[in-house]
Amino acid sequence: MRIYEDTYQHKGLRKQLIETLKGKGITSQEVLNAINSIPRHYFLDSAFDKIAYEDRAFPIGEGQTISQPYTVAFQTQLLEVKRNEKVLEIGSGSLYQTTVLLELGAKVYTIERQKNLFEKHKHYYFKNKYLNIKFFYGDGFEGLPTYGPFDKILITAAAPFIPPKLIDQLRIGGMMVLPVDEGEQQRMLRITKLSDGSLQEESFHNFSFVPMLTGKN
Ligand code: SAH
């Protein structure tokens, strides 16, 4: 049985990470507070305990990764999450990004296509702390039509294009943040659905994600 402990050393390293994120341009105090309050090392194999607060992605099994803290902070900041908003997340992975959304007060619907990762979610460490979470095993390209529309949608894998079914599941005034393929790297986009149903697109800098794949595994 693994023992989970959030020591002074972990908290100190987390404070340093917050400074790093500020230095890289993260300004949302809510997002920084959320990251500061979540023990990222709980989402990683204990072998990563000492390096869990480096601003890097790490393997989480099945060829997948926990996103880099800067990426999590940047995407979350762009999403402008408000308390009680319904957020659809594609790519649950380690549930670290999910936990940041929950800490901000969102009601999170999260989809994972890798069965082995999804099975691990039964043991989510914070399942008694955050009750506004629903886990789904499925293909994120399909979204969750019966649960929509969503206030916000977040994709945490490299999308080959903007998934049309997800646009359908976004409410008017809602926003979707996603990295879209541009070869080796992906361009971070924020799509806002305007009152006439048209889309406003904002483009940010490049990131590197694992691919968003179709079907289940
Ligand atoms: N947010 C996660 C990032 C995990 S990496 C974290 O912070 O840990 C991206 C995840 O997206 C992987 O777990 C991968 O299996 C998943 N994924 C890729 N394509 C998907 C799809 N079509 N539907 C749902 N999940 C998908």
Q: Is residue 212 part of a domain?
A: no
SS3 label, residue 139? coil
Q: Decide if 134 contacts 108 (C-beta within 8 A).
A: yes
Does the active-site annotation cover 67? yes
Query: Looking at residue 183, what is its pLDDT?
Result: 81
Tell me which of 28, 67, 92, 94 is the catalytic residue.
67
Protein residue with its CA nearest to atom 16 in ligand 1: 91
Residue 184's pLDDT is: 86
Q: Does 81 fall in a domain?
A: yes
Number of domains in the chain: 1
Report pLDDT for 56: 97
Of the candidates 106, 103, 86, the residue with the CA atom closest to the CA atom of residue 147: 86
Residue at 163 is within a domain: yes
Give the model's pLDDT for residue 123.
Answer: 95
| CATH number of the domain enclosing 75 | 3.40.50.150
- Per the model's pLDDT, the better-predicted residue between 172 and 2 turns out to be 172
Query: What is the reported pLDDT for 17?
Result: 98
User: How far, CA to CA in Å, does 185 sit from each of 2, 76, 94?
Assistant: 36, 19, 22
Percent over 70 (pLDDT), the chain: 100
Determine which residue's CA is closest to atom 21 belonging to ligand 1.
140
Q: Which residues contact 103 (CB under 8 A, 6 or more apart)?
A: 34, 37, 38, 130
Q: Is 17 helix (H, G, I), strand (E, B) or coil?
A: helix
Residue 110 CA to ligand 1 center (angstroms) comes to 10
In a domain? residue 127: yes
Compute, in angstroms, the gap from residue 62 CA to the centroid of ligand 1.
10
Query: What is the sign, positive or negative, of the torsion defined by CA atoms of 153, 207, 26, 103?
Result: positive
Whether 179 shows a pLDDT value over 90: the answer reads yes
pLDDT tens string 11-61: 999 999 999 999 999 999 999 999 999 999 999 999 999 999 999 999 999
The model's pLDDT over 126-178, given as tens digits with 9 standing for 90+, comes to 999 999 999 999 999 999 999 999 999 999 999 999 999 999 999 999 999 99
pLDDT of res. 72: 98
Distance from the CA of 197 to the center of ligand 1, in angstroms? 28
Please provide the average confidence, as pLDDT, over all residues in the chain: 97
Say if 215 falls within a structural domain: no
Asked if residue 84 belongs to a domain, the reply is yes
* Total-model pTM: 0.98
pLDDT, mean of residues 80-99? 98
Element (H, E) at 12: helix 8-23
**How far, in Å, are 61, 107, 129, 189 from residue 153 at the CA level?**
25, 12, 23, 12
What 20-27 contacts at long range (C-beta under 8 Å, 24+ apart), as own/partner pairs, is: 20/55, 20/69, 20/70, 21/55, 21/69, 21/70, 21/73, 24/55, 24/70, 26/70, 26/73, 26/74, 26/77, 27/77
Does residue 167 line the site of ligand 1, with CB under 6 A? Answer: no
Amino acid at 30: E
Which structural domain, as residue segments, surrounds residue 60? 8-207
Q: Determine, yes or no, domain membership for 216.
A: no
What is d(CA 84, CA 141) in angstroms, rounded to the nearest whole number? 24
Is 177 in contact with 190 (CB distance < 8 Å)? Answer: yes
37 within domain boundaries:
yes
183-209 pLDDT, tens digit each: 889 999 999 999 999 999 999 999 999
Q: Enumerate residues 6+ apart whose C-beta is below 8 A from 195.
A: 172, 173
